[in-house]
Copies of this chain bind each other. A is one copy, B any other.
């Protein structure tokens, strides 16, 4: 079992692909929240044993999808027992616009981690934002609190800009290093 678990909801497959790239970099286990906002019962044990939990959700109407929020509300049972106290947490989100209120989602994911008494791992990468910047660069959107990925509104799962996926993998590697250091 991995020390790192990525728990995510994906509406149309884009967020799943980002989760997979992040998990590859982190050597992490993936837990998918289903379309009804539920997890298999065993997933809660996996989360309990994790050293680091990474939250992922698409940004819809300015915040994480309701399915992800249903998972977060269900985690209140864990909250009552301080079951995730002092775990490490990180987060990512995907939406169609470059900015597009992704920061609102990430600010809340940080708050969720803090409600659970956690430590939050930032993206930790300088932005690529000169005139020559391309969407194949690492952190070309300029994220800080977590990973931001843009998938244009008419982009298929195979058309997510490579820079977003590469940033996911690099962030996964960072999360693994921090997890190792903190253990």
Contact = CB atoms under 8 A, between A and B. Distances in A.
Given A103-B101, A119-B120, A178 B60 contact: no
A122 B130 contact: no
Contacts of A133: 152
Contacts of A85: 124
A122 B118 contact: yes
B111 A130 contact: no
Contacts of A155: 131
18 contacts: A61-B76, A62-B114, A66-B69, A96-B129, A96-B142, A97-B127, A97-B140, A98-B129, A98-B141, A99-B100, A100-B141, A101-B142, A111-B145, A117-B123, A117-B125, A119-B121, A131-B154, A131-B159
Given A63-B111, A63-B112, 14 more contacts: A60-B73, A61-B73, A62-B115, A66-B70, A96-B127, A99-B99, A99-B148, A110-B110, A120-B120, A129-B152, A130-B153, A131-B152, A131-B159, A182-B182
